[in-house]
Amino acid sequence: MWIEPTPGELAGLAAELCGLYGMSEVLIAPGEGTPEETAADVGAVLGRYLSGAIQDGMVIGAGWGRTLAAALATFRPQRRRNVEVVSLLGGLLAPDTLNPIDFSWQIATALGAECSLFLAPLIVDSPETKDRLLDACGLGALTEMAQRLDLAVVSCGDVGPGGSSFSRQFLLPDDLDGLLAAGAICDTLCQFLDAEGRTIDHPIRHRVMSVDLDIVASAPHVILASGGRARAPAIRAAILRTRCRTLVTDEAAARELVALSAAGG
């Protein structure tokens, strides 16, 4: 399997993060940039890594985000046999918005794989609508598929003041204010976490169309890709919740993750 070579001066940092957070491997893009530059840099590392990580017969769960979208530029896999890709969350209706299901579809196309899309709005109007879509419209089958994941690839965003998570753009102001008041700092698959990776108990959790993070975390191999110094607390929360085996990040976030551990969180 191809593995992104971490620059020599960062190899020790990667090993330290593995020890601190119980991960198997950390891949670090050097330097520090704007959110857009960071997404491109981390995504480039992720795309090359995924090109070798996906093998015949796998069931792949796919999340969303700028970093994952950027990975497509360097994703050059061999065609694989009997691979299934399942989207882990619903989509957005705005035509000019990065859409969660696009990443799943493009990954599957590059692999020559079957693709099961989460064909529902990302956020619905009520828990009752969510239940009907899952139970009566067949979308519950995606949860069943997700319980067979061999590999999941997800990202995370920071939802706090000044955060760059896409969820800040489509959440209603009252919902965002309520989530922040309850301690939300991280968005992973449009599920909102506090600093210790616990799901925020807010009504929106019952209206989000995505596979539960507990199911995603049960996959044998979870890859978390996200970077940026300001996102480090959110990345830490996502690490704790997803129990990711592989972290793909940038140097600035990696150093801040070490500092957070030294500070006790």
Q: What is the CATH number of the domain that holds 63?
A: 3.40.50.1360
Say which residue the tokens 């506090």 belong to. 194
Are 34 and 65 in contact by the 8 Å Cβ rule? The answer is: no
Q: Which segments of the chain have a pLDDT < 50?
A: 1-5
What phi and psi values does residue 255 have, to the nearest 5 degrees? Answer: -65, -35
Residue 221 pairs in a beta bridge with 151
User: Given this model, what pLDDT does residue 169 score?
Assistant: 72
Query: Domain limits at 33?
Result: 23-262
8 within domain boundaries: no
5 within domain boundaries: no
7 within domain boundaries: no
16 within domain boundaries: no
232 within domain boundaries: yes
DSSP at 129: H
For the chain, how many residues are written?
265
Q: In the sheet where 191-193 sits, what is the strand order?
A: 157-158, 186-188, 191-193
12 within domain boundaries: no
User: Given this model, what pLDDT does residue 178 score?
Assistant: 94
Tokens of 107: 């990954």
Tally of structural domains, the chain: 1
In single-letter form, the type of residue at position 8 comes to G
9 within domain boundaries: no
225 within domain boundaries: yes
Are 250 and 41 in contact by the 8 Å Cβ rule? The answer is: yes
Neighbours of 135 (CB within 10 A): 10
pLDDT tens, 180-220?
Answer: 999 999 999 999 999 999 999 999 999 999 999 999 999 99
Neighbours of 23 (CB within 10 A): 18
Angle between helix axes 251-262 and 8-21 (nearest 10 degrees) is 40
pTM for this prediction: 0.93
